[in-house]
Amino acid sequence: MTSTTSSTELFSRAQQVIPSGVNSPVRAFGSVGGTPPFLTSAKGALLQDADGREYVDLVGSWGPMILGHANEQVVEAVREAAGRGLSFGAPQPGEVSLAEEVVSRIGPVEQLRLVNSGTEATMSALRVARAATGRDVIVKFAGCYHGHVDALLAEAGSGVATFAMPGSAGVTAATARDTVVLPYGDRDAVAALFAERGGEIAAVITEAAPANMGVVPPLEQDGIGFNRFLSETAHAAGALLISDEVLTGFRASRTGYYGVDGPHGTGTGTGTGTGTGTGTGTDAAWAPDLMTFGKVIGGGLPVGAFGGRKDLMGLLAPAGPVYQAGTLSGNPLATAAGLATLAGLDEAAYETLGSASRTLQQLVADAFTTAGVPHVIQRAGTLFSVFFREQPVETYEDAKAQDTDAFARFFHAMLEGGIYLPPSAFEAWFVSTAHTPEMLDRIAEVLPGAAAAAARG
């Protein structure tokens, strides 16, 4: 498609009628500066903007486009579904198939409900947890992002981190009082909080592997992973564990991050540095009580989901007392896109993804090392991010201590060279199965110059 309206013109028009010109804050390029390109089409790993420029995409719509853009099977499934009607507001076969696919892949999920975003998924999971326990307090970790749910915005990652916001205005004091924020990975802080207030805590919510302050994989201690520790600590106090896999689900591995560090996990591919991780997973049975999903299960259309133990999910209306609903939930186009995407994600697809991710990590490490840019690359399964500091990042405080100015210089040099990165130092980089060696070669050509720009402080 050719366009006669430039990104600059579009951004100026947008700013008149849309707050800051965008419908989600990070898109405004606020932390890196400049005008965001307005995108007009995408195919495979390539994006086209309104100015006629082409980019290799490393954002992937923040996760959903794991098979690349306009994947033929996914587009065909949506086209076919659209021909049968856009929305029924009544049960339809696709939602059953999508729930069956998730339940078959993710052990702890016995039942699943579909919603329209990750935010809705975490918000609903909190409501179920509070109803199940009759308690109010939610524990979250600094740097973890769970969508723009009132109770979960304190010290959140993603855009909240990008703009260095402590939380959000408009959240009531009562809501803030019911949320306790702890440093990620701090087992002593978790134990102390439970010792003091265990009887008030409804649930601990955590990203299965935090990826919204950059990727900060959970660490093992005495052979026990952080997620398992949280599950055991919460359960000992009658509280629940909610594992948020909106970002990691069906991306970190075929079975999400739970497939990496759960009881039957492979334990591989987690950790810092650029080599292959050597974790072993653990044999002891443990499971989150509730899990949340989004992004990949919608294949680019608006889908979220929450699921878990049958007794907990049975609390939902109409059988139970917890109200939760949605006009477009289980929408036939969205379930068609999600199903076609999951159908494309077989073992071979994860191998392609893993290989593209490892190659890219190595290219970045080589370019940064040559240019003398302090960096550390961290990963969780096939997901990774690059921090502009030398020391490993274990907490949000560590993540904030990186050189975001160097990132901004790097970002703009990459963009200029036709590589579209997340416009924030706190985000993961997203590869897809469409990141072929040719696409990686294009990135490799631009990296050395961009690394040199980052180094010119």
Closest approach of ligand PLP to the CB of residue 152, in Å: 8
Smaller CB separation from ligand PLP, 269 or 302? 302
Q: How far is the CB of 454 from ligand PLP (least distance, A)?
A: 25
Question: Which one of 64, 118, 344, 422 is in contact with ligand PLP (CB under 6 A)?
Answer: 118
230, two tokens: 């949280």
Query: How far from each other are the two terminal CA atoms of the chain, in whole angstroms?
Result: 39
Distance between CA atoms of residues 328 and 314, nearest Å: 21
Catalytic member of 49, 55, 145, 258 = 145
Q: Would you call 244 a catalytic residue per the annotation?
A: yes
**Closest-approach residue to ligand PLP (CB):** 118
- Is residue 140 at the binding interface for ligand PLP, with CB under 6 A as the rule? no
Cβ atoms of 87 and 71 within 8 Å: the answer is: no
CB of 158 to ligand PLP, least distance (A): 5
Is 350 one of the annotated active-site residues of the chain? no
Determine how β-strand 304-308 pairs with β-strand 290-293. antiparallel
Q: Catalytic one among 295, 350, 396, 398?
A: 295
The nearer residue to ligand PLP, 145 or 194, going by C-beta atoms, is: 145
Cα gap 310→327, rounded to integer Å: 24
Enumerate residues 241-270 that contact ligand PLP by CB under 6 A.
Answer: 244, 246-247
In the complex, what is the shortest distance from the CB of residue 213 to ligand PLP, in angstroms, rounded to a whole number? Answer: 11
Q: Cα separation of 455 and 300, whole Å?
A: 36
Kindly tell me which of 21 and 256 has the beta carbon lying closer to ligand PLP.
Answer: 256
The distance of closest approach from Cβ of residue 302 to ligand PLP in the complex, given in angstroms and rounded to an integer, is 7
In a 10 Å sphere around its CB, with 0-12 CB exposed, 13-18 middle and 19+ buried, how is residue 418 labelled?
middle
Q: Which is nearer to ligand PLP, 399 or 453 (CB)?
A: 399
Residue selected from 64, 143, 267, 304 as contacting ligand PLP according to rule CB under 6 A: 304
Site stretch for ligand PLP (CB under 6 A), options 142-150, 215-223, 275-283, 443-451? 142-150
Shortest distance (Å) from residue 417 CB to ligand PLP: 26
When the beta carbons of 117 and 270 are compared against ligand PLP, the nearer one is: 117
Compute how many residues bind ligand PLP; rule: CB under 6 A.
16
Rg (CA), the chain: 21
Task: Answer yes or no whether residue 227 interacts with ligand PLP by CB under 6 A.
Answer: no
Q: How far is the CB of 270 from ligand PLP (least distance, A)?
A: 17
β-strands 376-380, 383-387: how paired?
antiparallel
Per-residue burial over 88-113, b = 16 or more CB atoms within 10 Å of its CB, e = otherwise: eeeebebbebbbebbeebbbbbebbb
Check if 441 is active-site.
no
Indicate the residue among 69 and 146 with the shorter CB distance to ligand PLP.
Answer: 146
Site stretch for ligand PLP (CB under 6 A), options 183-191, 239-247, 321-329, 394-402: 239-247
Q: Whole-number minimum distance, CB 428 to ligand PLP, in Å?
A: 9
Residues in Cβ contact with 41 at an 8 Å cutoff, skipping those fewer than 6 apart: 1, 47, 48, 70
- Cα–Cα distances (Å) from 28 to 20, 422, 424, in that order, read 7, 11, 11
The residue range among 143-151, 187-195, 217-225, 323-331 that interacts with ligand PLP, by the rule CB under 6 A, is 143-151
Q: Which residues, 186 to 225, sit near ligand PLP by CB under 6 A?
A: 207, 212
Is there binding between residue 119 and ligand PLP (CB under 6 A)? yes
Using the minimum distance from each CB to ligand PLP, give the nearer residue, 11 or 257.
Answer: 257
Residues at the site binding ligand PLP, with contacts judged by CB under 6 A: 62, 117-119, 122, 145-147, 158, 207, 212, 244, 246-247, 294, 304
Residues marked active site are found at 145, 244, 295
